[in-house]
Amino acid sequence: MTSTHSEDLVSQYRQLVQQEDDYVNQLVTCKKLILDAMDIIAKQAGVLEMDTVKQAAYHLHSMEQDLNRKLFKVRLEKSILANQMSHST
C-alpha cells in the first residue's frame, strides 16, 4: 500500500478517536443529567407534573441510547481501521 493510503487511514483513525472522545463526554453528561433528574423526581415529585417529568426522563434515556449506538459504531469503525492499518505496513 502507498504511504498516502496509510496516511489516510491514520487520519481517519484520528478522526474516529476524536468522535469517540466526544461521544464519551456527551454520555457522561447525559448520565449525570439522568441521575440529577431522578434525584429531583425523588425529592419533588409531589409538586411536579408527572407526565411532563416522565416525558423528559424518557427523552434523556432515548438520547443516552442514541449516544451509545453512535459510540458503538465509532468503536467498530476504529477496530476495522486498526485492522487495515496493521496490514498496510
Cα angle at 75 between 27 and 15, to 5 degrees?
A: 90
pLDDT at 5 over 90: no
Q: Which residues lie below 8 Å from residue 30, measured CB to CB, with a gap of 6+?
A: 60, 63, 64, 67
- The SS3 assignment for 48 reads coil
The pLDDT score that the predictor gives to residue 14 is 96
85 touches 9 (CB < 8 A)? yes
Q: Is the dihedral of CA 39, 44, 45, 49 positive or negative?
A: negative
pLDDT at 22: 98
- pTM metric for this prediction: 0.84
pLDDT at 1 over 80: no
